[in-house]
Amino acid sequence: MNEFNEIELLFINKLLNKVNYGNLNLFESNQFANSPIGNSILKKIELKFEARFSEIKKRNNNAGISEFRYEFDNYVGKAILERLNVLDKSSYQAISKWNEKETEKFAKDILGPIKYEQFELLKLTKFLTEKSKEKNSS
Amino acid identity at 105: K
Report the mean per-residue pLDDT for the chain.
Answer: 85
> What's the chain's length in residues?
138
* 88-91-92-98 Cα dihedral, nearest 10 degrees: -170
For the segment 114-136, what is each residue's pLDDT rounded down to a tens digit?
A: 889 999 999 999 999 999 999 88
- Closest by CA to 109, choosing from 134, 136, 91, is 91
Predicted pLDDT at 71: 93
Q: What is the average pLDDT across 54-58?
A: 77
Residue 1 scores a pLDDT above 70: no
Task: Measure the CA–CA gap between 105 and 93, rounded to whole angstroms.
Answer: 16
Q: Residue 115 gets which letter from DSSP?
A: E
What whole-number distance in Å separates Cα of residue 56 and Cα of residue 112? 20
- pLDDT tens, position by position, 58-116: 777 777 777 778 999 998 999 899 888 888 888 899 999 999 999 999 999 888 888 89
- What global pTM score does this model have? 0.70
What is the pLDDT, as a whole number, of residue 28? Answer: 78
Q: Return d(Cα 47, Cα 45) in angstroms, integer.
A: 5
- Asked if 128 and 83 count as a contact pair (C-beta separation under 8 A), the reply is no
